[in-house]
A and B are shown apart, each in its own frame.
Chain A
Amino acid sequence: MRAMVPGTAWPRLLGAGVRRRPLRLHLVQAATPGPAGPSGRTLWSAAAPAAREPERSSDLSDRILNEPLKHSDFFNVKELFSLRSLFDARVHLGHKAGCRHRFMEPYIFGSRLDQDIIDLEQTAVHLQLALNFTAHVAYRGGIILFVSRSRQFSHLIENTARDCGEYAHTRYFKGGLLTNAPLLLGPRVRLPDLLIFLHTLNNVFEPHVAVRDAAKMSIPTVGIVDTNCNPTLITYPVPGNDDSPLAVQLFCRLFQTTINRAKEKRRQVEALYRLQAQEGAKGRSPADSSPGAQVGLDLGHSP
């Protein structure tokens, strides 16, 4: 039985939790002013020559949104970290064997002097997937919420979130924040599209309430899971150390860089399309021929 999803007001990024509707273009419309014709009027108010423009703009927006999905690492997040950098940041150090969570056993390489060591090769794979997903979400203008309940790194995480233009919640998590958002935050609030957990456990070593609530509200999550955490409810778990300052700083830096990169890419792509659309419109008015400029996306991405 599906609850009243507050996200029906805003189109959810992956179409999650909302019944299928034609793709809403308001996200793109706000950014792209459309082909600046001789009258400089907006897309929808133009006359007959604009009959082809809606298709073109939806074509463009489709291309903007779908092109990155065709590549496995469109934003080249692999180059941001290496096994060596993870090792130097002490990401492989887990808790003692007594604190081990059963579901973390696949990610543990072994244990040395009773301390669990996390398998960094698996971590690298998971981290690449997580960063790639974060980048895609940021590229599509999604709201990213950094969640943590560790007092030691609360200030750092809030600064990270502010610097990349996203949101943070490192304070006491009120009960129905995600599940009862219209009451707590406002009638037509937009929920976060991605939750990034830098610490999956709260101050009493229990799983953070937001993990379960995000799963309830169909919000994807990325989480750094230590050896004493439960990775099952997290969409993109990243097994790694969440207690050392170096490790947390590394992760914050990685997330910040990916988000900034993705947003920058988006701005570049939109500027490029706007330029192409303008040129196409100018080229079209003397000779009403082929639609737009058939410019392929030759952006600097690695295949």
Chain B
Amino acid sequence: MAAPCVSCGAAASYRLFLGGRVSFARGQGLWKAAAAELQKSTGCQILRLRHTTAVTRKNVAALRRETYTVDFIKKQIEEFNIGKRHLANMMGEDPETFTQEDIDRAIVYLFPSGLFEKRARPIMKHPEEIFPKQRAIQWGEDGRPFHFLFYTGKQSYYSLMHETYGKLLDVEKHQDQLQAKGLFSEKTKTKDPIGSRWLIKEELEEMLVEKLSDQDYAQFIRLLEKLSALPCGAAKEEFVSKFRRSVTIQSKKQLIEPLQYDEQGMAFSTGQGNRKTAKAEAVVYGHGSGRIEVNGVDYLLYFSVIQDREQLMFPFHFLDRLGKHDVTCTVSGGGRSAQAGALRLAMARALCSFVTEDEVEWMRQAGLLTVDPRVRERKKPGQEGARRKFTWKKR
């Protein structure tokens, strides 16, 4: 009985709200009509409807930006801590030393979820990670704002610009003083630019808890670059490094197998590779004359096409080790070109053990260590091939 009334009440209030926005007179008419309609059904619901309309009207502005009060966040943190202790007790572990990883594992155990979207699965994290960071109220009891750049609108960004510019001026003054004393030396020892990058706009926005425009961000980075171009002391380096993030070099993840030694003391290394449906395994020996044996047959006989043989030679040619290694390999599946590609990858991976880290990085950049992801695309119905359509006839 209550459900239909509530739904009709909600619908009526929504209509009323919309009507109110467009024109007050029309709203009034709608309100009267709705009131009459409700009076026919249940007299007591009108009061509730009146209350609902007032509430919806007032809360429009609030709904646009959900602001979490400080008290609300504090309550959430308390609830989280209590919940953490309960969870620890449930799992039979010590509540004092219950870490976030333990919480995650416990949740995965207690609420197994088959959902594919990881973000839709149940989580239990500290409220600071869930609720977005927000600005507390910016002024005191007497109405005076706390920050001296409050009236600019973007106080954190502009105060950061002010601070950075201040540092730039200090550095220039210091340089002038040194030059006056004659102690100025032209050496510019810049920090290694490779391996770190400037923060991106999103990271800066997160740091400042403020929205920025692209021009603001570009201006800030330009100022930082100007500052970092000047030679100066450790304090500035520390300031600038706050805005740099390290870039993880991809090849560090490359697992380089150590060299193995057989009975004669010859160093060798194995590598595996695949391309389309071909799978290959190669054993590269440390010393040799550049002989390559594929499936027990010399590569000149196995691969009659020069292109395939060139593919096999490429890793050695790249590292200038053409006649220095012997290779024994096996390959199966695929066609001739796919087998050649698989063998190339296997040999390059095996060669990583014989070679320095820099050369491994160069090989990676040359694409020798990347698996070619291209596979045959399936044929689709209604088309002749994967992409080829049937001949289009106008009539």
Taking Cβ atoms with an 8 Å cutoff, the residues of A that contact B are 9-10, 26-27, 30, 141, 143, 145, 155, 158, 161-162, 165-169, 171, 174, 177, 184-186, 189-190, 192
Interface pair A167/B138, CB less than 8 Å apart: no
Interface pair B148/A10, CB less than 8 Å apart: no
Set of chain B residues within 8 Å of A189, measured between Cβ atoms:
139, 143, 145
* Chain B residue at smallest Cβ distance from A172: B152
Interface pair A185/B151, CB less than 8 Å apart: yes
Q: Which 4 A-B pairs have the closest CB atoms?
A: A190-B143, A162-B148, A10-B143, A171-B152
Which of B158-166, B185-193, B320-328 lies on the face that meets chain A? B158-166
Q: Type the 1/0 row for B148-159, where 1 means its CB is closer than 8 Å to any CB of A.
A: 111111100010
Set of chain A residues within 8 Å of B141, measured between Cβ atoms:
30
Report the separation of the CA atoms of residues A60 and B189 in the bound assembly, to the nearest whole angstrom. Answer: 65
* Chain A residue at smallest Cβ distance from B144: A143
Closest chain-B Cβ to A228's Cβ sits at a distance in Å of 26
* Chain B residue at smallest Cβ distance from A192: B151
Interface pair A145/B151, CB less than 8 Å apart: yes
Residues A167 and B142 in contact in the complex (CB < 8 Å), given A155-B162, A155-B166, A158-B162: no
Set of chain B residues within 8 Å of A190, measured between Cβ atoms:
139, 143-145
18 pairs from A and B in contact (CB 8 Å cutoff):
A143-B143, A155-B162, A158-B148, A158-B149, A161-B148, A166-B148, A167-B148, A167-B149, A168-B151, A169-B149, A177-B153, A184-B153, A185-B153, A186-B137, A190-B139, A190-B144, A190-B145, A192-B151
Report the separation of the CA atoms of residues A52 and B152 in the bound assembly, to the nearest whole angstrom. Answer: 45
Residues A27 and B145 in contact in the complex (CB < 8 Å), given A155-B162, A155-B165: no
Report the separation of the CA atoms of residues A192 and B154 in the bound assembly, to the nearest whole angstrom. Answer: 17
Set of chain B residues within 8 Å of A169, measured between Cβ atoms:
149, 151-152
- State the interface size on chain B (CB cutoff 8 A): 20
Interface pair B153/A174, CB less than 8 Å apart: yes
* Chain B residue at smallest Cβ distance from A210: B151
Closest chain-A Cβ to B44's Cβ sits at a distance in Å of 35
Taking Cβ atoms with an 8 Å cutoff, the residues of B that contact A are 137-139, 141-145, 148-154, 158, 162, 165-166, 169
Taking A166-B148, A167-B150, A168-B151 as known contacts, 5 extra A-B pairs with beta carbons closer than 8 A to each other, sorted by chain A number, are A143-B143, A155-B162, A155-B169, A168-B149, A186-B137
Report the separation of the CA atoms of residues A249 and B182 in the bound assembly, to the nearest whole angstrom. Answer: 30
Report the separation of the CA atoms of residues A186 and B145 in the bound assembly, to the nearest whole angstrom. Answer: 11
Set of chain B residues within 8 Å of A171, measured between Cβ atoms:
152, 154, 158
Set of chain A residues within 8 Å of B154, measured between Cβ atoms:
171
Closest chain-A Cβ to B170's Cβ sits at a distance in Å of 11
Set of chain B residues within 8 Å of A174, measured between Cβ atoms:
153
Set of chain B residues within 8 Å of A184, measured between Cβ atoms:
153
Task: Select B145's contact among A26, A30, A141, A167, beta carbons within 8 Å.
Answer: A167
Interface pair A26/B142, CB less than 8 Å apart: yes
Interface pair B148/A27, CB less than 8 Å apart: no
Report the separation of the CA atoms of residues A155 and B162 in the bound assembly, to the nearest whole angstrom. Answer: 7
Interface pair B151/A167, CB less than 8 Å apart: yes
Closest chain-B Cβ to A150's Cβ sits at a distance in Å of 14
Set of chain B residues within 8 Å of A30, measured between Cβ atoms:
141-142
Closest chain-A Cβ to B208's Cβ sits at a distance in Å of 15
Set of chain B residues within 8 Å of A165, measured between Cβ atoms:
148
* Chain A residue at smallest Cβ distance from B165: A155
Set of chain A residues within 8 Å of B145, measured between Cβ atoms:
143, 167, 189-190
Interface pair B148/A168, CB less than 8 Å apart: yes
Closest chain-B Cβ to A200's Cβ sits at a distance in Å of 18
Set of chain A residues within 8 Å of B142, measured between Cβ atoms:
26-27, 30, 141
* Chain A residue at smallest Cβ distance from B168: A155
Closest chain-A Cβ to B150's Cβ sits at a distance in Å of 6
Report the separation of the CA atoms of residues A198 and B153 in the bound assembly, to the nearest whole angstrom. Answer: 20
